[in-house]
Chain A
């Protein structure tokens, strides 16, 4: 049998996604290389730092994943995070707002930017590439204006935000409890699912692979936790980021909203004819992305105890897009997962941290990150083209 009419750009590896394996492979290679070049790279101290650096960036990346999933792009997440950093700094140190209010205002400013994107994209039909490029410039201007004449503001060191992001680590018992909860939760969900599938007379997965995956999950969470505990431990910001990843993952895989996001990114015409409110789906993705970017900006401001004109600047806008794609989310929409954010940001953070340890300037960092990105995009594009859609 032959297949006709396979729309361009709709193919993938025959029935099989490579999943996260390419990223994990890349990560392993990078770690081995950097460790060989500098024995401090895999030290617990350095990995604790790496995780702390990666967390705010990861929150931005998580938002980018959502926008990529609906098949759009947001070039301005770094600028939005910078605006949010400025808002939270001005609110806390100049206006004397309570911390929660300053954080809320910062995240709300992000949400407003995202809503503006959603409105202009769905009502005026402006391509998101241009739209968010314009938004980037506008947001940069707002950031400078909010910061005022000094161009830089310090957050009070004793404020909870700074303490939480800089010095707060999960107590060991809590870290291990969370690990145990995650593993138990995974097993519990699998168990309930098995029961329900058996009751519905659907094929159930044999025990062995389930147990193997649970064991893998336990190892993959327990070992890093233990290793980080030998130093300062798991930062609160890292835990917040991973918590957000879990929530977004649940939303994407198990709610109607998540289904609509993937459907719109896969084929917007089909999603519309299936009855989804396509405009709302786009807008929700833009709002979620900008809000997460703002939250990431707040976390970064807390970590640095400062906001300035450079916050979220230079290459941040593009680095997070690179991280999302390296993590396995397709630039073409419809394919990807929340887990792209931690994976991608870990790769990007590894390159940055490894080269910093080697006392190299930013030149090789940009080049290596760029090459890894090129590799990821190639895999993505080839994955779409390769799948021979044969009749069966």
Chain B
């Protein structure tokens, strides 16, 4: 996956803005209330490139709270549930795919 840090802003499907929290580095998502949440279900979902650009600009403006904000795809379930749109985001939201201890 091309590093999302280098991407041009052009989205092809529903997307969100994600980053890491400055103080402890945990994965956070930009909410529609102009804040951050550690839960993907709280993420603001955008559908056009303009909306994405605006959400990213707003996220980047919070330089104290978050590091390395970027746009990433999501999958929207019929139920309204928000799922990560690719493996990288699945790993960021759900954690490691591996056993830490020998098994």
Q: Do A and B bind each other?
A: no
